[in-house]
Structure 1
């Protein structure tokens, strides 16, 4: 089996879009793995996702489901961020996020559990001098102040986000696909103004109406980050995850939702909580691959990025 370092030195990964020897300024998209699942409260295994995902990106062509070519897209894979401790890993994640945001590149992170989104948001917050919005696609709110005494758990991601200087209020986050809440979270959302469309509401409203609502609320932000927990999908579409919840989005709903959300000024996204070893068929892993490449297609389609520069490399 090839190591992660060997994988990222090969252009064939990421549908042949990987350019391992270019500088960040030459790239259109920067991608990075965070093989850490020390923030979970239940089943582990998400740390295996970054390497496992790269290993199945040889088998696809650089086209979207709308039959568009993205073969000119330049992807720079930084490999996996590792360290001797969570503190070291999170510090590195924060720095690489900061660098990519400053460079005006679309950032793509592969978790890891959902706690890995926390240092990504730290890096965005440090890099920006303006407020930004977050779209949280998940079965869970991740609004617990702590879980099991851990303030950096995968269930505390958005609670930590609300502490950032560039997240002005609780309505800066839009929660989509939710269908589970801790008692603490239920109390929190009753006491604060929140943007929430659960999986049930999304099915009832339809994607077109959902997008109208989300865009209406998030239009005030010039920069938006999307975090995608694979358990937003119903377990039928993504069984390989640590805390599956019945009654979720189907694959078509999620792909159509992301298509519309990328009409907003998205500066980056992550896909987290994929645990390949929890299911033999690796359905969740293949779902993550599709999500990532389609989002890259949406980014490429826009042509002009939110930093006001022509973003397709010459």
Structure 2
């Protein structure tokens, strides 16, 4: 069985777009895995996603569902954040996020549970001297101050984000797909101004109208980070996750939302909470692969001229 280090040295992964050995400055997109699920409150298994996801990227071509070629993209897979404890792993993630922002490269992180987004946001916050926005696509709010005594839990991601110097207020985050809340979070919603469209509202409005609302609120930011919990999808489309919630987005809604959201100044995104071992067919894993490659297509499209030559977009 190949190790992660062996896999990331192969050009064939990521639809043949991987360029092992190039620098962050030479890359268009940087990928980093975070095989950590020590912040979960229920079922574990998300730590296995980064390696499992890479292993299903050999067989796809560098094309989008819109029949576009993205073969000119240079992907640099840095491997996984490894360490003996959470502090060491999170420090490495924070540094990679910092480096990507400073270099102006689109970052793609593969969790791991949703707590792994916390150090990504730390790195972005450290690198920037201006406010940034967050779009949180999830079944859950992740606004708990702590879970089981853990302030870095997967249910505390956006509560920690609100403590950052470059997140000016509670309306700096837009929540999409939410359909579950802790009692603590219900109180927080009642006491604070929150941008939120649950799955029911998105279905009622339609994706186009939902996107109009998101863009109106997030237009004040020059840089936006998107975090995607796979459980935003209904369990029918992503059963392999630790805390599935009935009544979620369907696959078409997810892809169409991302298509529109990438019209905003997105500097990076993550996909978290995919737990390959929790379902035999690996449906959630394949959903994550599709989400990632389509997001790369959106980024490519923003930086493409009429001759199809890629240019840096931020």
Q: Give the TM-score taking structure 1 as reference length.
A: 0.97
- Cα distance between partner residues in 2 of 1:310 and 1:190: 45
1:3 equivalent in structure 2: 3
**1:281-307 deviations in Å (ceiling 9; x for gaps):** 000000000000000000000007xxx
Structure 2 matches for 1:1-314, cutoff 5 A? 1-303=1-303, 310-311=311-312
**1:181-206 deviations in Å (ceiling 9; x for gaps):** 00000000110000000000000000
Q: Report the secondary structure of 2:174's partner residue.
A: strand
Unmatched runs of 5 consecutive residues or more in structure 1: none
- Tell me how large the CA RMSD over aligned residues is: 0.9
Unmatched runs of 5 consecutive residues or more in structure 2: 305-309
- More displaced stretch, 239-248 vs 90-99: 90-99
**1:141-190 deviations in Å (ceiling 9; x for gaps):** 00000000000000000000000000000000000000000000000011
Q: Report the secondary structure of 1:27's partner residue.
A: coil
- Cα distance between partner residues in 1 of 2:37 and 2:219: 33
Q: Report the secondary structure of 1:101's partner residue.
A: helix
Q: Report the secondary structure of 2:115's partner residue.
A: helix
- Cα distance between partner residues in 1 of 2:82 and 2:239: 26
- Cα distance between partner residues in 1 of 2:234 and 2:59: 25
Q: Report the secondary structure of 1:184's partner residue.
A: helix
**1:79-129 deviations in Å (ceiling 9; x for gaps):** 000100100000111011100110000000000000000000000000000
Cα offset for 1:311? 1.1
- Stretches of 4+ moved more than 6 A in 1? none
Q: Report the secondary structure of 1:200's partner residue.
A: helix
Cα offset for 1:43? 0.1
- Cα distance between partner residues in 2 of 1:168 and 1:287: 33
**1:242-271 deviations in Å (ceiling 9; x for gaps):** 000000000000000000000000000000
Cα offset for 1:310? 3.5
Q: Report the secondary structure of 2:15's partner residue.
A: helix
- Cα distance between partner residues in 2 of 1:206 and 1:212: 10
- Cα distance between partner residues in 1 of 2:276 and 2:59: 17
Number of equivalenced pairs? 308
- Cα distance between partner residues in 1 of 2:247 and 2:95: 37
2:307 equivalent in structure 1: none
- Cα distance between partner residues in 2 of 1:96 and 1:225: 15
- More displaced stretch, 228-237 vs 21-30: 21-30
- Cα distance between partner residues in 2 of 1:23 and 1:175: 34
- Cα distance between partner residues in 2 of 1:232 and 1:310: 32
Q: Report the secondary structure of 1:107's partner residue.
A: strand
Q: Report the secondary structure of 2:25's partner residue.
A: helix
Q: Give the TM-score taking structure 2 as reference length.
A: 0.97
